[in-house]
């Protein structure tokens, strides 16, 4: 086990709260590096994968761009541009919403569902491999992260 102090060659932290923030940042970067390697061969990014998952979760009901945005892991990300990229790849369809022409209905395509199914197996396996904790520990981690956010 590599403690955060070693990982970034910092002798000590002001207090455990400041240490936890750095630990979160470092662990996140570590996670994203691993995710990128997994996604690379499939030609989509983790963020695009997340949008596809949100769309599939709607079970065929068209989803607006703002509704996707609300469900994204990163609320600051740009759903409009991610949808455009997925459309270029033929993974989603976009259509004008009939009752409100400002809105755009987004639907995942067959091709999108297929890619998602294939990716999901590897992502879920990858996540289990990534988290070197036992069941009790991972439950505790989830609890602490939820509580941390207040």
Partner DNA sequence: ATTATATAAATGTATAGACATATAATGTGA
Partner DNA sequence: TCACATTATATGTCTATACATTTATATAAT
CA 19 to each of CA 1, 8, 23, 25: distance values in angstroms, whole numbers, following the listed order: 16, 12, 6, 10
Distance, in Å, from the CA atom of 40 to the CA atom of 2, rounded to the nearest integer, reads: 27
> Which one of residues 38, 72, 107, 113 is an interface residue with a copy of itself (CB under 8 A)?
72
Distance, in Å, from the CA atom of 57 to the CA atom of 18, rounded to the nearest integer, reads: 36
Walk across the sheet containing 104-108 and list its strands: 63-64, 104-108, 92-96
Distance, in Å, from the CA atom of 150 to the CA atom of 140, rounded to the nearest integer, reads: 16
Binding site partner of 59, from a copy of itself, DNA, none, Cβ cut-off 5-8 A by kind: none
Residue number, 15 or 101, with CB nearest to a copy of itself: 15
**Contact pattern for DNA over residues 101 through 130, marking x by CB under 7 A:** xxxx--------------------------
**Residues forming the site for DNA (CB under 7 A):** 29, 32-33, 36-37, 40, 44-45, 47-48, 64-67, 69, 74, 76-78, 80-85, 94, 97, 100-104
**Residues forming the site for a copy of itself (CB under 8 A):** 1-4, 7-10, 14-31, 33, 57, 70-76, 124, 127-128, 130-133, 135, 137-142, 144-150
């Amino acid at each position: 086990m590599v403690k955060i102090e070693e990982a970034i060659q910092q002798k000590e932290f002001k207090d455990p709260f400041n240490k936890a923030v750095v630990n979160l940042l470092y662990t996140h970067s570590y996670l994203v590096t691993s995710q990128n390697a997994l996604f690379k061969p499939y030609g989509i990014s983790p963020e695009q994968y997340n949008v596809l998952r949100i769309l599939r979760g709607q079970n065929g009901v068209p989803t607006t761009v703002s509704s996707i945005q609300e469900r994204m892991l990163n609320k600051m990300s740009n759903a409009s541009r991610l949808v455009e990229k997925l459309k270029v790849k033929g993974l989603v369809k976009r259509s004008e919403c009939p009752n409100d022409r400002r809105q755009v209905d987004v639907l995942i395509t067959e091709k999108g569902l297929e890619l998602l199914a294939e990716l999901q197996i590897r992502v879920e396996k990858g996540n289990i491999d990534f988290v070197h904790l036992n069941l009790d520990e991972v439950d505790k981690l989830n609890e602490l992260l939820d509580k941390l956010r207040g």
